[in-house]
Every structure is written in C-alpha cells, then in structure tokens.
C-alpha cells in the first residue's frame, strides 16, 4: 500500500513538471453599445469560461452594456446625460422610418451621423485625457484589447497603451478594413458593400463599383476625422485612421468566406460567420412540417 502511494506521488510530481501551467490572460474589452455589444458579449462569456479575466470598459451612459457575473464592468464619466443620449437615438429612429423624399433623407442621415460621430469622438477624447483612468489601465497590465473597430476609440486606446489588439467586426465602411490589413481590393473583382453587385459584373456595374465608394469616403471622413485629430494630440505626429487600425494583431470577421464573396485575405484574418447562432434552438416539429412541403 505504501509502495503504491509512493508511486502515485512520483507520477503526480512527474506530470506537474512536464505539463505546462495554464494561466488565463487579462483582456480589456471595449465594445460598441447596442447590437454590437450583444454579439460580443457571448465571446466575453466564453473567455471567462476558459479562465480569462475580462474587464469591459464603457461610458457611464451607454446602450445595453450592464454589469454581469462573467466580467468586471469599468465605466468612465461622460459629458452628456442619459436623457440627451436617449433623445439622440429617438430622433435617429424617427428619421429612419419617416416617409419623405430621398434627398432629404440622405441629408438628415448625414447630419445624424455627424452628430453621432461627435458624441462618440468626444467620449473617446474624455477617456484618453482621463489621466487617472489611463494610469489605472496601464497598471492593470492587460495582455490584449478586444474591441469593435467600427468605433475606432478601442483601437486608438490599444495603440496608446501599446497593447496588442484583436478586432471583432462585420465590416468597416469605406473599405478601411482592406487598407488596414493591406488586402488587395480590386474594383473589377470585389463587389462594394451596398452596391448589390455580384462577383460577375457587367461593364456598367464595374463602373458603379468604382464610383460608389466616392460618396462613402465623404461620410467616413465625417465619422472618422476626429479620431485622426485626437491621435495627433496623443502621439504628436500625423496618424491616419489606417495607421490606427493597422495596430490590430488579429481580425475576427463575423462573415463567412463561402456565403460572402471570396476575397483576398491576410494570415491574421479569421472568418467567424455563424457566431450569432451560438444560442440556436432546434426547430419544433410544427416548423419542420410547415417547411418540408416547400422543399419537396
């Protein structure tokens, strides 16, 4: 009995020496609010289940980001109130469903995007100039920043803290994701977002594919130019938004290489299409019975 116990102890010591120690990392999560956060939340839950420590950084006034048991919520103050924030989204929703001529809708949409961009960029500036918060984040020694680059603030924060960034996104307007990852993006091959073109285009469709991004560039300039100005303040040199996004170590695209049109990609790009279906439930027999006749 003693011999067997001694053999067991020796075997246990052997495996403790051979097997590497698994240690969870510290992840700083900076999401966008709304539906963007509802998707990223499942990833944060999985990180927690695998032993990682997640800290979600969000403004005090936000949409849907609330404290939960699988992450630590760290908030920072904003210069606008919850009432002002709610009023902005209420006006935006009313504009979307308002019936009016196309030109007026476009003008109101541009104005709404400008107001939203000013609100987000002001919030980002308040965070990055919050010396107490930045010092706390530096002292926390995070291993990685997980963020949605649709709001460039997370990418800018990761670059400012000199921490590797992982981007979690569907796309970025104006093909900034192509530029930041240095992916080839030929207009004759890859259909532009919202053009309704396929990968087999006529000559006129190819012309449309080349001209359509020009208008989008103006909209993106409105949305993203404040972040370039903020980056200049922080780094004391000209820093473009592409430079900021190029800091990303891994890009997790919530798309599918098969369902979307195939495109040239870099080794640090991973397609994770279907992640929103993580909580799917099996169809009931009633649904299956109703569906089968249509496919037979």
Higher pLDDT, 14 or 225: 225
For residue 294, give both structure tokens. 């249509």
Q: Where are the domains of the chain?
A: 22-185+224-295
Identify each DSSP E strand in 5-46 by its residue range: 26-30
User: Which pLDDT value is given to residue 158?
Assistant: 96
Does position 135 have pLDDT exceeding 90, yes or no?
yes
Q: What percent of the chain has pLDDT over 70?
A: 79
* Mean pLDDT value across the chain: 80
Q: pLDDT confidence of 181, banded at 50, 70, 90?
A: very high
User: Which pLDDT value is given to residue 277?
Assistant: 66
Closest Cα partner for 78 from 134, 130, 139, 148? 130
Least confident among 56-65, 161-170, 226-235, 277-286: 277-286
Does position 161 have pLDDT exceeding 60, yes or no?
yes
Backbone angles phi and psi of 81, in degrees to 5: -90, 170
Q: What is the dihedral of CA 75, 76, 82, 84, to 10 degrees?
A: -150
CATH code for the structural domain at 22-185+224-295: 3.40.50
Q: What is the pTM of this model?
A: 0.80
Does position 265 have pLDDT exceeding 90, yes or no?
no
Does position 18 have pLDDT exceeding 60, yes or no?
no
Closest Cα partner for 176 from 230, 224, 125, 112? 224
Does position 187 have pLDDT exceeding 50, yes or no?
yes
Q: What is the mean pLDDT of residues 4-28?
A: 53
Closest Cα partner for 223 from 149, 118, 108? 118
């Amino acid at each position: 009995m003693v011999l067997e116990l001694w053999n067991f102890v020796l075997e246990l010591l052997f495996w403790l020496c051979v097997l590497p120690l698994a240690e969870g990392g510290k992840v700083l999560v900076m999401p966008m609010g709304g539906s963007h956060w509802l998707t990223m939340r499942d990833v944060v839950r999985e990180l927690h289940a695998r032993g990682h420590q997640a800290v979600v950084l969000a403004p005090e006034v936000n949409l849907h980001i609330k404290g939960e048991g699988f992450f630590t919520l760290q908030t920072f103050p904003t210069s606008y109130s919850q009432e002002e924030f709610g009023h902005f989204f209420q006006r935006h929703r009313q504009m979307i469903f308002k019936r009016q001529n196309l030109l007026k809708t476009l003008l109101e949409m541009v104005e709404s995007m400008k107001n939203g961009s000013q609100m987000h960029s002001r919030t980002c500036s308040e965070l990055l100039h919050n010396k107490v918060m930045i010092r706390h984040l530096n002292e926390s020694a995070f291993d990685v920043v997980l963020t949605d680059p649709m709001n460039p603030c997370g990418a800018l924060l990761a670059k400012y803290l000199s921490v590797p960034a992982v981007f979690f996104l569907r796309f970025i307007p104006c093909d900034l994701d192509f530029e930041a990852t240095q992916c080839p993006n030929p207009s004759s091959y890859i259909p532009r977002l919202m053009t309704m073109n396929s990968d087999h285009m006529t000559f006129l469709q190819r012309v449309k594919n080349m001209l359509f991004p020009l208008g989008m560039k103006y909209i993106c300039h409105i949305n993203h130019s404040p972040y370039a100005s903020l980056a200049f303040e922080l780094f004391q040199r000209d820093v473009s938004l592409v430079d900021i996004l190029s800091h990303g170590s891994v890009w997790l695209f919530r798309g599918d290489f098969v369902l979307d049109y195939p495109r040239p990609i870099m080794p640090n790009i991973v397609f994770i299409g279907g992640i929103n279906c993580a909580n799917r439930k099996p169809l009931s027999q009633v649904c299956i019975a109703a569906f089968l006749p249509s496919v037979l």
